[in-house]
């Protein structure tokens, strides 16, 4: 069977062989401690679940939802965004509901990227920035994220001939996979760069609520002029342990939101009204659940950092996200991941996030402290130390 050329253009799935080996270990009865997938292990808070159960009984939620999302949901998003970042949003024109942030990340390319247009994509990064570009017929221009720059891209090193064809710039802070953060100075630079080159900025801020030691995450939309050049895409998945619910939003430039809406009206029928009602309960209800989850992630971060340092690894404590980005000895991320798998510990090879992720592995803090300590002990027993 012949696949469409767009599928042939996709990069290879580098985790396939590792996934096969993980399943083989499980079949052999090996106890697997997985730090691989960024999927919260803590359940969705009870008050959100109750709201969904109540919403399921409302007849209006049994019909097609609106394409842009319930106004009540968009108002809840706008209110939460103003409380968190001090940015006022018009819920009718500057907010749209998404069926998970992955949907928005993918679909926004179809609103603004024509075949041959360039999209500036960071690397290492969430793969959908690049694959969404390819599906739309665009050309990814890779922006390396390097440790010596705090994993911030050097925007001004992009060749001028590529910038002339560029339509969109992706940024993502707090960052997956590196756990790096960005400050307002960087976002001001992004706004200036976008204005100079006529770019749409898409800022993926899925981890904005997970920050440690009193650190305050800044949003791209806090920068002066950001509302004129781009949007933020955010999700309830990580903040409220709702990955399986598939609910998120985009907010910012009215023109960009309108373009995304035009795509969505043709490819989906909107987010479930039941899920939107649950999301309203999450956004407007008590935030103790978020603080408790963040405190637990911080305990896990501390346990993993302490353990890795004891094994001789040089690792900083991330300020945000529930990831830890570890430079590996020898620089071969797949080989290191396979060595860990021999002792039943699963991590994500950095090369799976793009060529500039080589030399690192990502740990997701989705295991309780006692399992983290056990994983470190297994690494030590296997001689996996610096």
Sequential pLDDT tens for the chain (386 residues): 889 988 888 877 666 777 788 889 899 999 999 999 889 999 999 999 999 999 999 999 999 999 999 999 999 999 999 999 999 999 999 999 999 999 999 999 999 999 999 999 999 999 999 999 999 999 999 999 999 999 999 998 999 999 999 999 999 999 999 999 999 999 999 999 999 999 999 999 999 999 999 999 999 999 999 999 999 999 999 999 999 999 999 999 999 999 999 999 999 999 999 999 999 999 999 999 999 999 999 999 999 999 999 999 999 999 999 999 999 999 999 999 999 999 999 999 999 999 999 999 999 999 999 999 999 999 998 887 76
> DSSP secondary structure string, 320-337?
BSSEEEEEPTTS-HHHHH
| Same domain, yes or no: 56 and 205 | yes
Say how far apart CA 189 and CA 155 lie, in whole Å: 9
Q: CA–CA distance from 328 to each of 305, 363, 386 (Å)?
A: 14, 12, 9
Tell me if 94 is assigned to some domain.
yes
Q: Of 284, 301, 332, which residue is a domain's last?
A: 284
The answer to whether 159 and 192 are in contact (CB under 8 A) is: no
Q: What is the pLDDT of residue 383?
A: 84
Q: At 370, which CATH number? A: 3.90.1150.10
Edge-to-edge strand list for the sheet holding 360-364: 323-327, 360-364, 348-349
Closest C-alpha to 75, from 59, 88, 61: 88
In DSSP terms, 200 is beta-bridged to: 168
Rounded-to-integer distance, Cα 32 and Cα 171, Å: 33
Domain end (from 284, 302, 317): 284
Asked whether residue 23 falls in the same domain as residue 104, the answer is no
Q: Are residues 115 and 198 in the same domain?
A: yes
Domain hosting 334: range is: 5-43+288-381
- Do 167 and 58 sit in the same domain of this protein? yes
| Count of structural domains within the chain | 2
Is there a domain that residue 180 lies in?
Answer: yes
The angle subtended at Cα 236 by Cα 283 and Cα 92, nearest 5°, is 60
pLDDT at 21: 81
Return the pLDDT at 37. 87
- The conformation of residue 179, written as its DSSP 8-state character, comes to -
Residues 279 and 299 in one domain: no
Same domain (yes/no): 213, 155: yes
The answer to the question of residue 128 being in a domain is: yes
Positive or negative, the CA dihedral 94, 97, 100, 102 is: negative
Cα 118 from Cα 158, distance rounded (Å): 11
- In this predicted structure, what is the pLDDT of residue 14? 65
Please say which residue of 249, 284, 319 terminates a domain: 284
């Amino acid at each position: 069977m012949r696949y469409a050329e767009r599928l042939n253009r996709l990069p290879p799935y580098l985790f396939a062989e590792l996934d096969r080996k993980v399943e083989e270990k499980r079949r052999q009865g090996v106890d697997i401690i997985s730090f691989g997938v960024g999927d919260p292990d803590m359940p969705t808070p009870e008050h959100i679940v109750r709201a969904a159960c109540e919403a399921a009984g409302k007849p209006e939620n049994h019909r097609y939802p609106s394409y842009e999302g319930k106004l009540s949901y968009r108002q809840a998003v706008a209110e939460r965004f103003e409380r968190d970042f001090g940015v006022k949003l018009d819920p009718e024109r500057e907010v749209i509901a998404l069926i998970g942030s992955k949907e928005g990340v993918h679909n926004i390319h179809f609103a603004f990227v024509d075949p041959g247009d360039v999209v500036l994509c960071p690397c290492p990064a969430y793969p959908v920035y690049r694959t969404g570009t390819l599906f739309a017929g665009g050309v990814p221009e890779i922006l390396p994220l390097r440790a010596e720059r705090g994993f911030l891209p050097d925007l001004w090193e992009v060749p001028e001939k590529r910038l002339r064809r560029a339509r969109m710039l992706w940024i993502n802070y707090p960052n997956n996979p590196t756990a790096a953060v960005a400050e307002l100075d960087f976002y001001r630079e992004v706004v200036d760069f976008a204005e100079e080159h006529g770019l749409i900025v898409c800022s993926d801020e899925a981890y904005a609520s997970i920050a440690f030691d009193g650190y305050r995450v800044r949003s791209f939309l806090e920068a002066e002029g950001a509302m004129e050049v781009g949007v933020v895409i955010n999700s309830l998945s990580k903040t409220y342990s709702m990955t399986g619910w598939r609910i998120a939003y985009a907010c910012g430039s009215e023109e960009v939101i309108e373009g995304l809406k035009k795509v969505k009206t043709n490819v989906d029928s909107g987010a479930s009204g039941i899920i939107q009602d649950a999301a309203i309960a999450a956004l407007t209800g008590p935030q103790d659940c978020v603080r408790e989850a963040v405190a637990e992630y911080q305990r896990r971060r501390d346990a993993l950092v302490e353990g890795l340092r004891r094994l001789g690894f040089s690792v900083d404590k991330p300020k945000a996200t529930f990831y830890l980005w570890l430079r590996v000895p020898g620089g071969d991320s797949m080989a290191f991941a396979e060595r860990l798998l021999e002792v039943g510990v699963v991590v994500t090879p950095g090369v799976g996030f793009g060529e500039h992720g080589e030399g690192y592995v990502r740990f997701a803090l989705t295991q309780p402290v006692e399992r983290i300590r056990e994983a470190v002990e297994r690494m030590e027993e296997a001689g996996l130390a610096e």
